[in-house]
């Protein structure tokens, strides 16, 4: 389970990093073009945002994929740390996701305090 949490966290960090660094400027430019429509509450605002360049669309898809992957790693980390009653790691995962999930997946314990892990 810890390996899955670590892998999901690494994938989430990579997807979010690529989305922001590589495609963030294209998405920001598209949002700036659509800003007058958004401010005027125009019904075409949604169409403007969704009809962006290929780079803006790719960035948005990568961002959503990263968020979903990070959320999954976060939830798995919370469930696992609560099940083994490791409250320090629970707080780390809760507050620092996806980095906290990655840290738990790599460094965290896999058993309850006083229990020998199999």
Q: Radius of gyration of the chain from Cα atoms? A: 19
Burial track 33-67 (b if 16+ CB lie within 10 A, e otherwise): ebeebeeeeeeebeebbeebeebbbbbbebbebbe
Flag whether 98 is in a domain: yes
Residue 42 lies in a domain: yes
In a domain, 99, yes or no: yes
What pTM was computed for the model?
0.79
Tens digit of each residue's pLDDT, the chain (118 residues) = 899 999 999 999 999 999 999 988 888 888 788 888 878 877 777 677 667 678 888 888 999 999 999 999 999 999 999 999 999 999 999 999 889 999 999 999 888 877 765 5
- Consecutive H or E run containing 52: none
How many other β-carbons are positioned within 10 Å of the β-carbon of residue 22? 13
Structural domain that includes position 35? 2-107
Q: Which two tokens stand for residue 73?
A: 């790693």
In a domain, 95, yes or no: yes
113 within a domain of the structure (yes/no): no
Please count the structural domains in the chain: 1
CA 107 to chain centre: 20
Is residue 63, in this structure, part of any structural domain at all?
yes
Let me know if residue 17 belongs to a domain. yes
3-state helix, strand, coil in the chain (%, to 5): 80, 0, 20
């Amino acid at each position: 389970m810890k390996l899955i949490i670590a892998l999901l966290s690494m994938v989430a960090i990579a997807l979010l990093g690529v989305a922001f660094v590589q495609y963030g400027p294209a998405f920001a430019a598209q949002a700036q073009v659509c800003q007058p429509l958004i401010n005027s509450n125009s019904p075409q605002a949604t169409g403007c945002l969704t009809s962006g360049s290929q780079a803006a669309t790719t960035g948005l898809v990568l961002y959503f994929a990263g968020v979903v992957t990070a959320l999954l790693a976060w939830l798995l980390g919370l469930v696992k740390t609560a099940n083994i009653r490791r409250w320090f790691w629970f707080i780390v995962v809760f507050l620092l996701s996806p980095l906290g999930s990655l840290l738990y997946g790599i460094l965290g314990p896999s058993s309850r305090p006083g229990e020998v892990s199999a």
